[in-house]
A and B are shown apart, each in its own frame.
Chain A
Amino acid sequence: MSELADLYQEIILDHNKRPRNYREMPECTCSAEGNNPLCGDEVKVSVRLDNDTLSDVAFQGQGCAISRASASMMTGKTKGRTASEARALSGQVRDMLLGPEAAPPPEVGDLAALSGVRKFPARIKCAMLPWHTLEAALAGQATATSESGD
């Protein structure tokens, strides 16, 4: 039960229920669609880049609580950062989920709530999908799948 409580922390349930920046962004400068062919999760991430800064980040799609919360927190966390900072953050999330067990680095902030996913290997792809999709958007690719990267 405690692993379960770690997975579905209050903050994750909250982002699942009231996802932030869940909207279309007609004025976006880049976007990508990610999907997890195994479970059918789909997410679209849209970004507006001003110079090298992500001045706006939004998402839409169908997914489980883990992928929705991850996407919702991601949009808040990456807004106002540079593209390379956003990529670095994505790397830190990946390390937190897949790397050797360690206390989450302070930079990830609220995203530390995702660390409970570690104990549920089948769900790591759900948490990473929005991040893969953001990276694809920043790289100018139209699509990403949960199979890439990890």
Chain B
Amino acid sequence: MANWDLQALRSDFPILGSSVNGRPLVYLDNAATSQKPSQVLEAVDRYYREQNGNIHRGVHYLSQVATDAYDRAREKVARFIGAPSPRDIVFVRGATEGINLVAHGLAKCWLKAGDEILLTRMEHHANIVPWQQAAEQSGARVVVADITPSGEIDLEDFTRKLGPLTKVVSFVHASNALGTINPAREVIRLAHEAGAVVLLDGCQSAPHFRVDVSVLDCDFFVFSGHKVCGPTGIGVLYGKKEWLERLPVYQTGGDMIGRVSFEQGTTFREAPEKFEAGTPDIAGAIGLGAAVDYLDATGFDAIEQAEQKLRDHVAPRLREIPGLKIYGDVEAKVPVLSFTMDGIHPHDIGTILDTDGIAVRAGHHCAQPLMKFYGIPGTARASFAFYNTTEEADALVASLRKISKIFA
């Protein structure tokens, strides 16, 4: 934190200087998508202006430049999450596509009738619905581990439900709706002991702390570029080499083939290419490479400290507001604050905050089973990033106090 210059950091993000409804933007919807620094915008722009060519296809100069840039992005992402090799990184459209790719593949090559897929009650719909589909296709069954009232996996219930039939365990690293961080290392170890393959949904962990997939030992890890200061339309699926080899192809077409023949049939390339059919989001991958460079240069130690400071500042002030209840109010969490206010619907909170230029999300956060667990229709969620300020947190608190008065 020695040379943490928040104003300089903020000036990297052009949108943070804008106004909304005549007020300076206070962007607290980072769990939905993060803002983008100039370094990312410029990398995407430079690609289209100076490097635009299709990859792996041409002998010409631009094709080579684009291919190199795309491959470099893969290397950066591999380093970013501690993957042993860039070959373990598959570029996908986002976490959603990553999970679909794995669920679709496991339904074909791993799951059998009677098997169990163990999820938790706190999953994002993106980590529920693809498994329901996989279950339907394979005859397997989705089993749901409970969570504790404070919003973490209930390890006792999880252990009880984990058994010889459990072939897949898929769970969220940090909850998008609560911010709570699951003990991933421990859960993965238990799942492996039971013989299950494990997917970890890192959408909300990758933006906030250093992830090392080699230490975590998960078989698959997914995250979305747009939540780590990168562009939309690009995401990452990490898979252990043996699993990427084993998993059947997903989409098929150009770039992913070894040889195509009407007479002799078609062969496929190895991972990761076998999962990247067609022209990928080259600009997106390059932008994501720039984004992870940006986060690395900013430093996760400093990011964690800054976010902790914001949380320490805002959480007690929120708790002081009469009738306000924070869900997942525990110490170990990413800076996501999900709350309700007595007698005030989250949408009304969201609308009024917006008139003050404050962006939060209101609703079920794509986690309807979790909302049902708490018996609420939804929450208002303020999700912070390292570039937020304590003044912005104060603006949120002041606006919430005003809302309290309006609905008193």
Contacts and interface: CB of A to CB of B under 8 A. Distances in A.
Please indicate whether A and B come from the same complex rather than being unrelated chains: yes
Contacts of B378: 39-40
B234 to A, nearest CB: 26
Interface in A1-16: 1, 3-4, 7-8, 13, 16
Interface stretch (A48-56, A62-70, A101-109): A62-70
Given A3-B355, A40-B368, A41-B377, 12 more contacts: A4-B352, A7-B351, A16-B407, A17-B343, A39-B362, A39-B364, A41-B347, A42-B377, A65-B344, A66-B347, A120-B351, A123-B347
Contacts of A4: 352, 355
B348 interface: yes
Interface string B348-390: 1001100100000011100010010000011000000000000
Contacts of A123: 347, 351
Contacts of B348: 8, 64-66
Interface residues of A, number: 23
Given A39-B363, A62-B377, A1 B406 contact: no
B345 interface: yes
In this complex, the member of A13, A16, A64 whose beta carbon has the largest number of chain B beta carbons within 10 angstroms is A64
Interface of B: 343-348, 351-352, 355, 362-364, 368, 371, 377-378, 406-407
Nearest to B371: A40
B242 to A, nearest CB: 40
A38 B365 CA distance: 10
A17 B408 CA distance: 9
Contacts of A1: 355
Contacts of B363: 38-40
A62 B377 CA distance: 7
A63 to B, nearest CB: 7
In this complex, the member of A3, A38, A40 whose beta carbon has the largest number of chain B beta carbons within 10 angstroms is A40
Contacts of A62: 345, 377
Contacts of A3: 355
Interface in A120-138: 120, 122-123, 126
A8 B406 contact: yes
A147 to B, nearest CB: 16
A1 B357 CA distance: 11
A39 B407 CA distance: 20
A38 B364 CA distance: 9
A42 B371 CA distance: 14
25 contacts: A4-B352, A4-B355, A8-B352, A8-B406, A16-B407, A38-B363, A39-B347, A39-B363, A39-B364, A39-B378, A40-B363, A40-B364, A40-B378, A42-B377, A62-B345, A63-B345, A63-B377, A64-B345, A64-B346, A64-B348, A65-B345, A65-B348, A66-B347, A66-B348, A122-B351
Nearest to B377: A62
Nearest to B22: A1
A4 B349 CA distance: 12
Contacts of B364: 39-40
B352 A64 contact: no
Contacts of B355: 1, 3-4
Interface string A49-93: 000000000000011111010000000000000000000000000
Contacts of B352: 4, 8
Contact of B406 (A13, A42, A120): A13
